[in-house]
Homo-oligomer: A and B are copies of this chain.
Amino acid sequence: MELLTGEFRNTLDEKGRLSLPAKLRGELPGNVLVVTQGIDSCLWLFPPEQWRALSAKLLEQTSLFHARARLIQRRILAPSQEMEIDKAGRIAIPQALREFAGLSKDCVILGITKYIEIWDAEAYRKYLEANESEFLAAAEELGGLTF
Protein backbone atom coordinates (compact mmCIF):
# COMPACT_ATOMS: atom_id res chain seq x y z
CA MET A 1 0.00 0.00 0.00
CA GLU A 2 1.41 3.27 -1.12
CA LEU A 3 0.41 6.54 0.44
CA LEU A 4 -3.20 7.48 0.06
CA THR A 5 -3.29 11.06 -1.09
CA GLY A 6 -5.33 13.42 -3.18
CA GLU A 7 -8.40 15.59 -2.83
CA PHE A 8 -11.42 14.46 -4.76
CA ARG A 9 -15.01 15.46 -5.16
CA ASN A 10 -17.71 12.86 -5.69
CA THR A 11 -21.42 12.72 -5.17
CA LEU A 12 -23.36 10.75 -2.62
CA ASP A 13 -26.35 9.16 -4.32
CA GLU A 14 -29.90 8.72 -3.08
CA LYS A 15 -29.05 5.41 -1.53
CA GLY A 16 -26.18 6.75 0.51
CA ARG A 17 -23.43 5.37 -1.69
CA LEU A 18 -20.23 7.20 -2.48
CA SER A 19 -17.69 6.32 -5.15
CA LEU A 20 -14.15 6.07 -3.91
CA PRO A 21 -11.82 7.68 -6.41
CA ALA A 22 -10.02 5.04 -8.44
CA LYS A 23 -6.71 6.64 -7.48
CA LEU A 24 -7.35 5.88 -3.84
CA ARG A 25 -8.96 2.51 -4.44
CA GLY A 26 -5.87 1.35 -6.22
CA GLU A 27 -3.84 1.87 -3.06
CA LEU A 28 -6.16 -0.04 -0.76
CA PRO A 29 -5.24 -3.53 0.34
CA GLY A 30 -8.70 -5.04 -0.03
CA ASN A 31 -12.30 -4.23 -0.67
CA VAL A 32 -13.29 -3.54 2.91
CA LEU A 33 -12.96 -0.32 4.86
CA VAL A 34 -13.81 0.66 8.40
CA VAL A 35 -15.83 3.86 8.47
CA THR A 36 -16.17 5.87 11.65
CA GLN A 37 -16.73 9.34 13.05
CA GLY A 38 -13.75 11.58 12.81
CA ILE A 39 -12.95 14.53 15.00
CA ASP A 40 -14.42 17.66 13.43
CA SER A 41 -17.44 16.91 11.33
CA CYS A 42 -16.01 14.37 8.95
CA LEU A 43 -15.77 10.62 8.60
CA TRP A 44 -12.62 8.56 8.76
CA LEU A 45 -12.04 5.50 6.64
CA PHE A 46 -9.34 3.00 7.53
CA PRO A 47 -8.19 -0.23 6.01
CA PRO A 48 -9.22 -2.92 8.53
CA GLU A 49 -5.64 -3.67 9.55
CA GLN A 50 -4.88 -0.10 10.43
CA TRP A 51 -8.14 0.22 12.27
CA ARG A 52 -7.47 -2.84 14.36
CA ALA A 53 -4.14 -1.39 15.39
CA LEU A 54 -5.64 1.95 16.30
CA SER A 55 -8.69 0.61 18.08
CA ALA A 56 -6.59 -1.84 20.05
CA LYS A 57 -4.52 1.06 21.32
CA LEU A 58 -7.64 2.97 22.23
CA LEU A 59 -9.13 0.01 24.05
CA GLU A 60 -5.99 -0.56 26.08
CA GLN A 61 -6.27 2.88 27.52
CA THR A 62 -9.89 2.71 28.38
CA SER A 63 -12.07 1.20 31.03
CA LEU A 64 -15.78 0.91 31.17
CA PHE A 65 -15.59 2.58 34.55
CA HIS A 66 -14.02 5.89 33.60
CA ALA A 67 -16.18 8.65 32.24
CA ARG A 68 -13.58 9.86 29.79
CA ALA A 69 -12.96 6.42 28.50
CA ARG A 70 -16.63 5.87 27.86
CA LEU A 71 -16.74 9.12 25.96
CA ILE A 72 -13.91 8.07 23.70
CA GLN A 73 -15.46 4.69 23.16
CA ARG A 74 -18.84 6.10 22.30
CA ARG A 75 -17.53 8.81 20.09
CA ILE A 76 -14.86 6.95 18.13
CA LEU A 77 -15.02 3.21 18.60
CA ALA A 78 -18.76 2.68 18.72
CA PRO A 79 -19.75 4.37 15.47
CA SER A 80 -17.29 2.33 13.44
CA GLN A 81 -18.56 -0.15 10.87
CA GLU A 82 -16.87 -2.38 8.38
CA MET A 83 -18.22 -1.67 4.95
CA GLU A 84 -17.55 -3.44 1.72
CA ILE A 85 -16.64 -1.68 -1.49
CA ASP A 86 -19.13 -2.70 -4.17
CA LYS A 87 -18.34 -3.73 -7.71
CA ALA A 88 -18.65 -0.17 -8.90
CA GLY A 89 -16.10 0.99 -6.35
CA ARG A 90 -18.54 2.61 -3.94
CA ILE A 91 -19.11 2.28 -0.23
CA ALA A 92 -22.48 2.68 1.43
CA ILE A 93 -22.24 5.16 4.28
CA PRO A 94 -24.44 4.12 7.20
CA GLN A 95 -27.16 6.59 8.00
CA ALA A 96 -25.93 7.54 11.46
CA LEU A 97 -22.56 8.46 9.99
CA ARG A 98 -24.06 10.39 7.11
CA GLU A 99 -25.99 12.46 9.60
CA PHE A 100 -23.00 12.99 11.82
CA ALA A 101 -20.92 14.44 9.02
CA GLY A 102 -23.86 16.32 7.54
CA LEU A 103 -23.29 14.74 4.15
CA SER A 104 -25.65 15.88 1.45
CA LYS A 105 -24.91 15.46 -2.23
CA ASP A 106 -21.47 16.90 -2.84
CA CYS A 107 -18.69 15.31 -0.84
CA VAL A 108 -14.97 15.89 -0.58
CA ILE A 109 -12.73 12.88 -0.23
CA LEU A 110 -9.27 13.42 1.20
CA GLY A 111 -6.47 10.91 1.09
CA ILE A 112 -4.37 11.54 4.20
CA THR A 113 -1.51 9.10 3.71
CA LYS A 114 -2.82 6.29 5.91
CA TYR A 115 -6.52 6.96 6.01
CA ILE A 116 -9.26 8.71 4.13
CA GLU A 117 -11.54 11.52 5.19
CA ILE A 118 -14.98 12.30 3.87
CA TRP A 119 -16.52 15.74 4.25
CA ASP A 120 -19.62 17.43 3.06
CA ALA A 121 -18.26 19.81 0.41
CA GLU A 122 -19.87 22.87 1.89
CA ALA A 123 -18.91 21.97 5.44
CA TYR A 124 -15.32 21.49 4.35
CA ARG A 125 -15.20 24.86 2.64
CA LYS A 126 -16.45 26.51 5.82
CA TYR A 127 -14.03 24.58 7.99
CA LEU A 128 -11.07 25.72 5.91
CA GLU A 129 -12.31 29.27 5.83
CA ALA A 130 -12.89 29.38 9.58
CA ASN A 131 -9.47 27.93 10.33
CA GLU A 132 -7.26 29.75 7.91
CA SER A 133 -5.61 31.96 10.50
CA GLU A 134 -5.20 29.05 12.88
CA PHE A 135 -3.51 27.22 10.03
CA LEU A 136 -1.10 30.09 9.45
CA ALA A 137 -0.23 30.09 13.13
CA ALA A 138 0.36 26.36 13.11
CA ALA A 139 2.59 26.77 10.09
CA GLU A 140 4.67 29.38 11.89
CA GLU A 141 5.24 26.90 14.68
CA LEU A 142 6.66 24.49 12.17
CA GLY A 143 9.34 27.06 11.48
CA GLY A 144 11.94 24.82 13.03
CA LEU A 145 11.65 22.46 10.14
CA THR A 146 14.30 23.31 7.63
CA PHE A 147 13.48 23.10 4.01
Which residues does A use to contact B, with CB under 8 Å? 3, 5-9, 23, 39-40, 50, 53-55, 57-59, 61, 64-65, 67-68, 70-75, 77-81, 94-97, 110-114, 117, 128, 131, 134-136, 138-139, 142, 145, 147
Contact = CB atoms under 8 A, between A and B. Distances in A.
Nearest to A76: B139
Contacts of A81: 5-6, 23
Contact of A5 (B50, B64, B80, B136): B80
Given A95-B9, A96-B7, A97-B7, A71 B39 contact: no
Stoichiometry (number of copies)? 2
A6 to B, nearest CB: 5
A61 B145 CA distance: 10
Contacts of A138: 68, 71-72
Contacts of A128: 74-75
Contacts of A75: 128, 135
Contacts of A9: 95-96
